[in-house]
Structure 1
Amino acid sequence: MPVKNSPDSTYGSKLLDIFFQLYREGKKHFKQDLANDFGCRPSTIQRIADVIEQFAGPHFETGIENRRKYYRISTKPCRISYGLDIEQIRALTLCKQLASASLPPYLLESIDDTIKTISLQLCYQDFPDRSAGQHLPISFSPKGYIDYSNHQKIIDKLLKAAQEKWVCLVDYKKSRFADVQQYFYAPGRITSQSNALYAIGHETTTGKPEKGEPKNFAIHRIQELTLTDMVFDFEAADEGINYFGLKFHEPKTFRIHFSRTASDYVMERIWSSEQKLEEQEDGSVILELKTVSEPEFMAWVRSFGENARLMDDKEVKYAN
């Protein structure tokens, strides 16, 4: 329910508010409810509805339901200016909700406003309740997520640098016990992993835009980021995106045996672009994958405890 308007607001402001509420949501609004919400008499709502009907014409609908009078603005089909349909609006809303743990509140509000604006352009007669596409019964329950509200300027600079290929000067603190270190850095992209955002790119030679070793930064640990006047001309994030982990070395192949207890969890997910799964007669499974971060991979295997073990060369040959 909308926030009640002040009874002292002008007739004109009430008219505009009611018009946009009817047009934005496309659903039935009852006269008495509008009177309560806008702090005025039902007769005032009727006068406003009469004015809106003059402008909306055939798109304006009024009727009686359960002895209560209602108003609604419906629209005829028209060209979709954004090239989207309601299913795509739902998909955008889903993506926004799944990413909510990594986005600051003001950006989430901005995305909501954009989705609403696009929804207004759809104007489907057979989808009068357009607000249904903007609010889905889906939630995301992250554990141990990071609040990026104070890091948005750094994220914006990283995106600009990656798009325009600017070398950055990064002040980075890898832990709360470490000293701040400086790096010349060519960012390639931002990626999300384990409820955290990372900058993926390459360290560059000091004072020169030359490609160095792969370098990844946890964005929440970047203390300061400055764009330099140096432009790099190489692909800063050209490898590793389809392999397990954040890139620290060339791809390595491993085979892991998972017990029957962990097999469903492993088989339901994609861990690497070239992974292979081999079901065993006892219900266990062997997973073969490629990783570009061996320490991260080993920590992941250890997290399964006795339900996972690496296979040695002899076992690999036997399994094949």
Structure 2
Amino acid sequence: MNIPATRADSVIFFRVADRKAGLSRCSDSEKIRGIPMPQKRDDATPTEKSLMLFSLMLFNGREFSLGEIAEKLNCSKQTASRLLDGLERFSYGRLRRGRHGRESFFSLERPNLPPRVCLNPEGLRQLALCRDFMLHLMPESMRRDTEAALNQSTAFLPAEETKENTSRPSGKSLTKGYIDYTPFQHMLDTILHALRDRRVCSVRYQSSLSADEKEYDYAPMLLEVYHEAFFVRGWVVTDKGRVETLYDTPTTLALHRLRAVTMTRRSSEQLPPAEDASSGAFGLLEGDPFKARIRFSPAVSTYVAERRWSEDQHITVHKDTSVTLSLTARSRQELLAWVLGFGEHAQVLSPAWLRRELQDKLTAMLELYAHREKKPSPAESAPDGGRS
């Protein structure tokens, strides 16, 4: 059926065929011929896939290969080809076909209708760059939503910028030891919902593999990213009656260590912001701030000097190009782990108690390697484990 137009300059016409005709008719004929039906790749109906294809072609303004369309719609190339045939019958735009070498490409030629709202092309490019840098942290469904929102935004660019392509990445974040947040999508959505509505959540949390799970009534205030991981900053609150904080300082929870999150009806509107007086200090874990001085050898001095480690840091460059970094830290565990990462190229100068802690850690590390292991057999020492 045709959707009646109320505003000819802004309404997109869709022609939706009955599921027993059109796209599904090919499947019925395959049944008649006795050809076994391929297994569906997802639960989307042919009509839903047609609209997905239409949206993809409309808001991108570029060419797509048949394989790329099949991948984005999560279907076979045969199904993608049938969907493209159906797209040619739509009343909005014209499907253009072309070839590059041996591969066919498709694009949708849109009517030259000026958009009522124009976006800033440079701002959209910057948003796409932020997406490229953050995409690896997002759960799969959030990635798709981000891609779709940016692609749809290109429809509102000025006419001279309609070829702007935000789907092709301009940047990339290189990381190791990252966390796949796809299994935590539901909890992330709940936390974001609670942040928007200022609501208290009931959470179950496991701080480490060796720790028992604990339950809290928790009021999230801010979502943070630190060392390629999401953290929630907020207040642990009373579980009954008036919502009040149980501690003087906010509590930070790692999103990937949450085991369950349920948003309650209790409001956190009256709670203060989860501000942190030492947020400019080195480290995420909260503790009493302290001053430290660390000497770095010329081998790593350039790396250290180029970066900002705390808001009040001071760097002294010596004649041999080594540097001394003076900074404020709030987590001795994080500072010690960071210094140890430089090996023999870093030396803690002060405070004295931090030097002693580092000496204790080095002594413990030496104990791990003090005892020689038995000499491996020729088979064990061979590069392939003795296999040929």
Residue aligned with 1:133, SS = coil
Percent sequence identity is 27
Question: How far off its partner does 1:230 sit?
Answer: 5.0
1:206, distance to aligned residue in structure 2 (A): 5.3
* Alpha-carbon separation, structure 2, partners of 1:238 and 1:80: 44
Give the structure 2 partner of residue 118 of structure 1.
153
User: What displacement does 1:273 show?
Assistant: 2.4
Equivalent AA in structure 2 for residue 101 of structure 1 = H
Show the counterpart of 1:106: 141
Contact 1:173/1:179 (<8 A) preserved:
yes
Match of 1:279 in 2: 317
Give the total of aligned pairs.
290
Question: Quick check: 1:216 aligned with 2:248?
Answer: no
User: Is this contact kept in 1: 2:205–2:259, CA < 8 A?
Assistant: yes
Deviations 1:135-176 (A, max 9, x none): 124333321111111212222222233344333332111122
Shift in Å, 1:110: 0.8
In the alignment, which residue of structure 1 is the partner of 2:68? none
User: After superposition, what is the alpha-carbon deviation per residue over 1:269-288, rounded to whole angstroms, capped at 9, x for unaligned?
Assistant: 22222322222211112222
**Is 1:161–2:197 an aligned residue pair?**
no
* Structure 2 alignment gaps of length 5 or more: 1-22, 28-46, 65-77, 101-105, 353-388
Q: Deviations over 1:179-212 (max 9, x none)?
A: 1112232322111122221112233355451251
Deviation at 1:101, TM superposition (A): 2.2
Letter aligned with residue 217 of structure 2: F
Separation in 2, partners of 1:103, 1:139: 14
Contact (CA 8 Å) 1:89, 1:134: kept in 2 or not? no
Cα offset, 1:100, TM superposition = 1.9
User: Among 267, 280, 289, which residue is 1:251 paired with?
Assistant: 289
- The equivalent of 1:264 in structure 2 is 302
Alpha-carbon distance in 2 for matches of 1:262, 1:77: 57
Give the structure-2-normalised TM-score. Answer: 0.61
In 1: Cα distance, 2:55 partner to 2:346 partner: 58
Q: Equivalent of 1:136, from 169, 179, 191? A: 169
Report which stretch shifted further, 218-227 or 205-214.
205-214
1:288 and 2:300 are equivalent in the alignment = no
- The verdict on how the C-alpha distance between 1:76 and 1:301 changes in structure 2, with shifts beyond 3 A counting, is farther
SS at match of 2:160: coil
Report the Cα offset of residue 38 of structure 1.
4.9
Aligned to 1:193: 226
Alpha-carbon shift at residue 72 of structure 1 (Å): 7.7
Query: What are the within-5 Å matches in structure 2 for residues 59-98 of structure 1?
Result: 73=109, 81=117, 83-85=119-121, 87-98=122-133
Cα deviation digits, residues 232-256 of structure 1 (max 9, x gap): 4211244444332214124322222
Shift of the 75–142 alpha-carbon distance from structure 1 to 2, 3 Å rule, reads: farther
Matching residue's letter, 1:210: T
For the residue of structure 1 that corresponds to 2:251, the secondary structure is strand
Partners of 1:20 and 1:168 lie apart in 2 by: 36
Pair 1:225 & 2:252 matched: no
Partner of 2:375: none
In the alignment, the residues of structure 2 paired with residue 179 and residue 16 of structure 1 have an alpha-carbon distance, to the nearest angstrom, of 48
Cα-to-partner distance string for 1:113-142 (whole Å, 9 max, x where unaligned): 0000111110x4433423x33312433332
Look up the match of 1:318: none
Decide whether aligned partners of structure 1 residues 297 and 164 sit closer, same or farther in structure 2, where only a CA change above 3 A counts.
farther
Q: Residues 281 and 76 of structure 1: is their aligned pair in 2 closer, same or farther, counting only changes over 3 Å?
A: farther
Q: Deviations over 1:62-90 (max 9, x none)?
A: 9x9x9xxx9984787957726432x2222
Q: How much has 1:265 moved relative to structure 2?
A: 1.5
Given that 1:22 and 1:72 are in contact with CA atoms closer than 8 Å, whether structure 2 keeps it comes out as yes
- Larger Rg belongs to: 2
TM-score by length of 1: 0.72
Q: Which has more strand, going by share of residues?
A: 1
Higher relative contact order (CA 8 A, sep 6+): 1
Q: Residue 317 of structure 1 corresponds to which residue in structure 2?
A: none
Helix, strand or coil for the counterpart of 2:286? coil
Verify the 8 A CA contact 1:101 1:142 in the aligned structure 2. no
